[in-house]
Amino acid sequence: MKSGFKKLSFSFLSITCLSLFSLHIQAHTILIKNAYIMPMTQNGKDIPVGEIFIENDKITAIGTQVNAKADTIIDANGGFVLPGFVDTHSHLWVNLMRGQFRNAEGKFFPISNELAKNMTPQDTYLAMYSGALELISNGITTTADFFDNIHGPAWGEAGLKALQDSGIRAIMYYGGPDKTTIKPIDLNNLQKLKQQTTSRVNLGLAWRIPRNLQDETNWAMRDVEYKMAIKQNLPIQVHISGDANAMFNALIQRKYLSPAVTVVHATDATPQQLDALEQTGAALSLTPLSEHRVGYGLTHIEHFSRVSRQGLGIDGNTLAGSGDMFDNIRLAALTMSGYNKDETKPDPRQLLELATRRGAEAIGLGKITGSLAVGKRADLQIIQPNTLNMSGYAGGDPAALLVYSAKKDNISVVIIDGKLIVKDGKFLNISTDEVIKQTHTAAKQLLQRAQQP
């Protein structure tokens, strides 16, 4: 398998080398001017005509005029500049299974479990690389990727390399080989992989609790994983699904909630359970598109208002249908107004905050990203309202405009860690046509292997 992975690396060599070379000679300073800046800081006000100055990986000035000369000047031409979106929970490895989940003809879990067993490290690389690029093209600059299909060290390496090569900021939560919760997570490999991490792509623990909540042997195994992560300062994500109520209670009673933990899919949580979570400082990840799709229930954001640390997640582009954070926000907004029979209920700005600053805070990256402020890493997007779907805007509420009207096509620029990744809506230095071709081929071959008797 290892040699297969090397072969894959060669097939991507031209893309990666070109990318690194170009980034290396790229300017160290960027000035964004003529921008409508929405900083998304706590109580921060919009700057209707402003500038942002970026030096290396950080924002070093922001205001109406920053009086600085830069190597690269980007004229936002009145477009909206926002922090990049933060995807607080994903499974990018599922990205070779688009179209396979066919509702009555084939549900997500049985199909994805079957295909997952047949995935090679090469498949994993392509799934996660193409998935991360899709997120970036949707203005998502940070992802929290729950990688729970690791069959050996090569799979872990492939996933980490895919995230690093894509340019996205990420926490890769290192998990087990499947969803059965029978097999342990390979903590030795996790430790080894930690040496390959960078300040942009780090590791966490993709933790699961025993499917049989009475199985104390399994709890003992899970306890070792949890304690290792706490000791090593690794963030932890855990799913609450299936018997969600009992699972949430088990987490509370066994004292596994802590500031290091993000609980995912708590759509059914009771107010008492949410209060218990809040007291421990743990966080929530809500994934409206996927939670609605697999029938977990309605993601009614208001229900979770008692929890300070929370954000939105895509939960895998394939299950959600796409890596589109605007779709996710819009669904959350419409669920809220429909549920309450009240169009005034959703606050568009609060929803944008959930997708940016609050999401970053939920996954422990609030000091680094999620808002536009001096000292923060330069992770941002420019949204151009020069398309038919955003035409006719003459003022009003820009947050409402973005939440209800903006689409991926409006994203013209994406900068991550101070590096210009997308310009004029296109990736610099990455041939997406080639990536799409290779990903299609890998998906086809995966299906053939899985269907072999």
Q: Interface residues with Zn ion (CB under 5 A)? A: 315
CB 339 → Zn ion: shortest distance, Å?
A: 23
Check if the beta carbon of residue 176 is closer than 8 Å to that of residue 209: no
Q: What's the burial of 371, exposed, middle or buried (CB within 10 Å: 0-12/13-18/19+)?
A: buried
Identify whether the C-beta of residue 150 lies closer than 8 Å to the C-beta of residue 183: no
Q: Supply the DSSP symbol for 409.
A: G
Query: Residue 239 CB, nearest distance to Zn ion (Å)?
Result: 6
Q: Between 19 and 287, name the residue whose CB sits nearer to Zn ion.
A: 287
Q: Which is nearer to Zn ion, 112 or 120 (CB)?
A: 112
**Phi, psi (degrees; rounded to nearest 5) at 404:** -100, -20
Strand (E) or helix (H) holding 404: helix 398-405
Q: Minimum distance from CB of 260 to Zn ion (Å)?
A: 18
Pick between residue 241 and residue 405 the one whose CB is nearest to Zn ion.
241
Smallest distance, Å, CB 241 to Zn ion?
8
CB-based contacts of 48: which residues, under 8 Å, 6+ apart?
36
Q: Shortest gap between Cβ of 45 and Zn ion (angstroms)?
A: 36
Closer Cβ to Zn ion, 35 or 236, answer by number: 236
Nearest Cα to 141, choosing from 130, 133, 149?
133
Which residues make Cβ contacts (< 8 Å) with residue 251, sequence separation at least 6?
A: 209, 238, 240, 257, 261, 263
d(CA 301, CA 305): 7
Which is closer to Zn ion, CB of 87 or CB of 315?
315
Name the minimum Å distance from CB 213 to Zn ion: 19
CB of 393 to Zn ion, least distance (A): 36
- Report the residue number, 21 or 109, with the smaller CB distance to Zn ion: 109
Amino acid at 179: K
CB contact set of 386 (below 8 Å; sequence gap of 6+): 79, 410
For residues 300 and 288, is the Cβ–Cβ distance under 8 A? Answer: no
Q: Closer CB to Zn ion, residue 81 or residue 92?
A: 92
406 CB-side CA count, 13 A:
29
CA dihedral 324, 330, 336, 337 (to 10 degrees): -160
| Parallel/antiparallel/unpaired status of strands 411-416 and 380-383 | antiparallel
Choose between 134 and 315: whose C-beta lies nearer to Zn ion.
315
Quote the least distance from Cβ 412 to Zn ion, whole Å.
30
- CA 259 from chain centre, in angstroms, equals 19
Report, in Å, the least distance between residue 108 CB and Zn ion: 11
Amino acid at 213: L
Structural Rg of the chain based on CA atoms: 21
CB-nearer residue toward Zn ion: 112 or 138: 112
Q: Which is nearer to Zn ion, 37 or 314 (CB)?
A: 314
CA distance 381 to 79: 10
- Least separation, in Å, of the C-beta of 40 and Zn ion? 25
